């Protein structure tokens, strides 16, 4: 009988040692891996930002067991208690760069912190007025970066019927798209030669003195000021830039005088071009915020007089000389 007890005690001791050995080999409990992502990374005071810590993970528990608390200004004061909410939305009312922190806690009470930042822009208040000395027309202008842009389309020149062709006759001529009773804001549309005042080497074109048609590089600078998708919002209708590139139009005129209005996309001539033989390939900016169109490229439209592409007519926005 004593032998049986000795064997049992020995067996229990071995099992205990094995268990202790296994426990000693197990890795130490680690804090959760906190991961935070902000969307969008750049926006303005009209946008609601989302902060998502849903990719956070823990080595010993499922994500459903994690708890989160948020510090929206990363000032060391937590704005929420620990809860299951793995995302947080917030609208910043003051422009600036904001760091946001999230603390993630696992079921064992271990925690870790992750941070991400967003840049918030406010409404552009650099707004002025340009009076065209040639005809007294007033244009709103806005400052983007260190450059002043017309915030309205040029409407200089004599309005003519689309049955007539714009020609080099010492008089600036423009068309007005038919669906607009007034062109006070929509402006005129011009063929590239007319917009350049038939002098390809002079970027002033038909702009007022001290202003010129934007070069390709100036359009590119505007294009790359902000990330693509945000730029489509910021420079579009009701965007906080107040540049409103959605107010732009273009059309195509056929040889018989028929004019096809294309009012849903802003298209603007550049003074830059590429020349091949006797054909000019001018650059232009195409913009439509609804469909996230914000492109700069060449337009084959102004070769010989009978070249089919010379029938396109776009809007003009002028930029102030440096």
State the pLDDT at residue 75.
93
Which of 281, 243, 250 has its CA nearest to residue 267?
A: 250
In total, the chain counts a number of residues equal to 322
State the pLDDT at residue 24.
43
Which of 255, 254, 280, 260 has its CA nearest to residue 269?
A: 280
CATH number of 37-121: 2.60.40.10
Three-state secondary-structure class, residue 301: coil
> Percent of the chain at pLDDT above 90?
53
> Percent of the chain at pLDDT above 70?
80
| Tens-place pLDDT, residues 241-286 | 999 898 767 677 766 666 666 655 678 999 999 887 777 889 999 8
> Which tokens in the block code for residue 143?
């400052």
Q: What is the mean pLDDT of residues 145-150?
A: 95
Q: What is the mean pLDDT of residues 62-67?
A: 88
Q: What is the β-pairing status of strands 158-159 and 173-174?
A: parallel
| Tens-place pLDDT, residues 150-189 | 999 999 999 998 888 899 998 999 987 655 554 455 788 8
> What are the DSSP calls for 253-290, one per residue?
E-TTS-EEEETTSEEEEEEEEEEETTEEEEEEEEEEGG
| Tens-place pLDDT, residues 197-246 | 999 999 999 999 999 999 999 999 998 888 888 888 899 888 899 998 98
Is residue 309 over pLDDT 70? no
Cα distance between residue 211 and residue 194, in whole Å: 16
> Which tokens in the block code for residue 91?
């609208």
User: Between these two residues, 127 and 42, which has the higher pLDDT value?
Assistant: 127
Q: Given phi > 0 = left and psi -120 to 50 = alpha, else beta, which region is 141? A: beta
State the pLDDT at residue 261.
64
State the pLDDT at residue 105.
96
> Which tokens in the block code for residue 121?
């822009």
- Tally of helices (H runs) and strands (E runs) in the chain: 4, 20
State the pLDDT at residue 302.
46
Q: Is residue 99 within 8 Å of residue 111, measured between CB atoms?
A: no
Q: What is the mean pLDDT of residues 283-312?
A: 70
Cβ-based neighbours of 208, under 8 Å, separated by 6 or more = 130, 132, 133, 134, 156, 318
CA 31 to chain centre: 38
DSSP classification of residue 215 = P
State the pLDDT at residue 164.
86
- First and final C-alpha spacing in the chain: 107
- Average pLDDT, rounded, for the chain: 84
State the pLDDT at residue 14.
46
Domain boundaries, the chain: 37-121, 127-320
Is residue 191 over pLDDT 70? yes
User: Between these two residues, 78 and 249, which has the higher pLDDT value?
Assistant: 78
State the pLDDT at residue 255.
62
State the pLDDT at residue 2.
52
Q: pLDDT category, 300, cuts 50, 70, 90?
A: low
């Amino acid at each position: 009988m004593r032998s049986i007890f000795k064997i049992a005690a020995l067996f229990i001791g071995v099992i205990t040692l094995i268990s202790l050995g296994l426990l000693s080999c197990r890795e130490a409990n680690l804090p959760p891996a906190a991961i935070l992502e902000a969307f969008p990374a750049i926006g303005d005071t009209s946008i609601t930002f989302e902060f998502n810590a849903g990719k956070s993970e823990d080595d010993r528990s499922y994500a459903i067991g994690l708890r989160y608390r948020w510090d929206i200004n990363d000032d060391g004061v937590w704005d929420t208690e620990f809860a299951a909410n793995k995302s947080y939305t917030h609208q910043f009312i003051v422009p600036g760069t904001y760091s946001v922190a999230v603390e993630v806690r696992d079921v064992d009470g271990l925690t870790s912190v992750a941070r991400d930042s967003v840049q918030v822009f406010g409404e552009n208040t650099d707004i002025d007025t340009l009076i065209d000395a040639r005809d007294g027309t007033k244009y709103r202008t806005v400052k983007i970066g260190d450059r002043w842009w017309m915030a309205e389309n040029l409407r200089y020149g004599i309005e003519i019927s689309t049955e007539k062709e714009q020609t080099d006759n010492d008089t600036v001529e423009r068309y007005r798209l038919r669906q607009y009773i007034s062109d006070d804001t929509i402006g005129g549309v011009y063929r590239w030669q007319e917009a350049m005042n038939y002098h390809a080497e002079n970027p002033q074109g038909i702009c007022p003195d001290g202003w010129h048609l934007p070069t390709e590089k100036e359009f590119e600078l505007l294009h790359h000021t902000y990330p693509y998708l945000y730029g489509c919002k910021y420079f579009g209708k009701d965007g906080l830039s107040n540049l409103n590139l959605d107010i732009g139009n273009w059309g195509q005129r056929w040889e018989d005088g028929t004019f096809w209005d294309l009012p849903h996309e802003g298209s603007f001539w550049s003074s830059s071009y590429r020349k091949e033989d006797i054909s000019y390939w001018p650059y232009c900016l195409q913009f439509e915020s609804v469909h996230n169109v914000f492109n700069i490229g060449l337009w084959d439209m102004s070769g010989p007089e009978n070249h089919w592409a010379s029938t396109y007519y776009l809007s003009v926005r002028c930029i102030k000389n440096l």
